[in-house]
Structure formats: structure tokens, C-alpha cells
Amino acid sequence: MQYLHTMVRVSDLDASLRFYCDLLGLEEISRKESDKGRFTLVFLAAPQDRQRAREDRAPMIELTHNWDPEEYSGGRNFGHLAYRVEDIYALCEKLQANGVTINRPPRDGHMAFVRSPDGISIELLQAGDALPAQEPWASMENTGTW
């Protein structure tokens, strides 16, 4: 068995690409437009997975944008996506500076949770050992759910 991808339905493809690519740092690997099916599929990979994604088509996240408007709810029912990051504090600072709520701050220097524009919970895990506790994160309260 081999993990291939996780599919997430998105209501605003531009907002989702800004979140996943511009803010989280994922890269677009491929895109498929279907006029007949009225949808767009965009496959994304983490930078360190780029080569494997191109060669093996895995591991990736598939953003599915149905052209006809739909309302998606229950993002929490999905669970979450998890990514290992080089500097959890720097990424959380970047996300917060761009209007993303840090639902579970990285108080422990190891783990944080944020949500995509469609309510998908994203877990961020510090690569290697946890970073030393650092403000403002160490004393920041949780916001909402993840």
C-alpha cells in the first residue's frame, strides 16, 4: 500500500492557493481543468516532497474546486493535515501576519494548529527537537477549535 494524496474540496481556489502555497509554502505540482465535469484539480506538495510527487505522484494534497457554487461545512470532521516545518515560530508569525488565526499556538515549540480558508485543520510540527519556549507563543491562549 502507498499513500497517494488527500483530497480537500475548496470553495475559493484563489484563497486556498494563497493559503497553501503563498503562506504554508506548498508548491503546485500539476493542475487539471475539466470543462465537462466543471471542476479544477490542483495537486500540491511540500518542497521536500517535490521530487517524489513528480516521480511517484505522492505524497500530495489535491484541492478540488467545483465550479458550481457549493457550501462546504464540517471541516473538523475531516480531521487534519500534518506538515513537518523547519521553524514553527517563523511560520506561525508569517501566517498570523497574513490574517491567519493560530488556533493552537506553538507554546511548546513543537506543535501548532491553524485552519485553511475552508475550515480544514492543519497541524504544524517542528522538525527535530522542540524549539525553546518563546513569546508571544508561550503565553498565547487557544482560539476556536482545531
- In angstroms, the CA 46 to CA 53 distance is 9
**Residues in the annotated binding site:** 62, 80, 123
The three cell numbers of residue 99 are: 490574517
Spot the catalytic one: 28, 70, 123, 135.
123
**Residues in the annotated binding site for Zn(2+):** 62, 80, 123
- Is 71 in the active site? no
Mark 24-60 as b/e (b = at least 16 C-beta within 10 Å). bebeebeeeeeeeeeebbbbbbbeebeeebeeeeeeb
Active-site residue list: 123
